[in-house]
Amino acid sequence: MDKELRILILEDAPSDAELLERELRKGEIPFSSKLVETREGFLKELIDFAPDVILSDYKLPQFDGMAALELTKELSPIIPFIIVTGSMNEETAVECMKAGAVDYVIKDHLVRIVPAVKRALELKKIREEKTKLEEALWNSAREWRTTFDAVNYGISLLDSERKIIRCNKAFAELLGKPFSEIIGRNCCQVINTPTPTLPHRGGGNFGSPSISPPLAGGGWGEGDKKANSYTMNLSTVNQEYLKVVRLCTCRKLVSGQPQSYNWVIVGLILLPIR
């Protein structure tokens, strides 16, 4: 262990604190320490000294280890806390561990203090790495949400049953529906309604068609399980509306038979979540 540890010792008996420090040196742990015995002193050094580990007696004349543990959890929860006491029954030991102490050491068995400190530092390292990972994930999720909601293209995310589990504002605006009528519904049911008229490049419009699944029977078809889209001729679509197309084909009944057309509802992106 190359780094010098900062160890805060909460103890009212200086001789007991010296025994602790002696055992740590015997274990070849480089450290500097601060000795306190009151609540005020503990709070001051918890902030100013910024210890790597805390060794605390269970009972003191003006303070106690459990109260110190609660303060540590409130102000610096990442710092490992070890109870060092003259005696402790099993029930009290369990109480300390449940409260958040990483270990406890009986003063008559100070030989355990070195492995207890090393174990506490390993736990601290794991906590720090977990905290960093959670922060990174949170930041990534926040950035994703910001981007997802800010893009001008309508986007929805689907589960394995083609139900919409999330969509952005542009998607809802494009369909003219509130989120409550979109989230949790099958994507085909959501978009299989009259849609805004799309102008033809050569003039006129396509009417207000509805969107059906790519197969006449209402299913998605084997070829659509992975791509979730069909290649379509976009030459007749006004470029003003040509954003990103990832949708099923649009159909219109002609003499009672479904016929595919060369137009699409654009700006809808349906992404399956697997």
Q: What percentage of the chain exceeds 90 in pLDDT?
A: 41
pTM of this structure = 0.54
pLDDT in tens, 99-153: 999 999 999 999 999 999 999 999 889 988 888 888 888 888 888 888 888 888 7
Are 101 and 178 in the same domain?
no
Range of the domain at 234: 154-272
Q: Is 59 helix (H, G, I), strand (E, B) or coil?
A: strand
11-20, 129-138, 212-221, range with the lowest pLDDT: 212-221
CA 194 – CA 207 distance, rounded (Å): 9
Sequential DSSP letters for 69-88: HHHHHHH-TTS-EEEEES--
Are 58 and 176 in the same domain?
no
Are 19 and 108 in the same domain?
yes
Q: Is the pLDDT of residue 32 over 70?
A: yes
pLDDT in tens, 60-77: 998 999 999 999 999 999
49-53, 89-93, 173-177, 217-221, range with the lowest pLDDT: 217-221
Are 129 and 185 in the same domain?
no
Are 253 and 194 in the same domain?
yes
Q: Which residues have CB under 8 Å from 176's CB, separation 6+?
A: 196
Are 113 and 189 in the same domain?
no
Are 188 and 79 in the same domain?
no
- Based on the structure, what is the number of domains in the chain? 2
Of 137, 165, 189, the one marking the end of a domain is 137
Which H or E element spans position 160?
Answer: none
CA angle 251, 257, 259 (to 5 degrees): 35
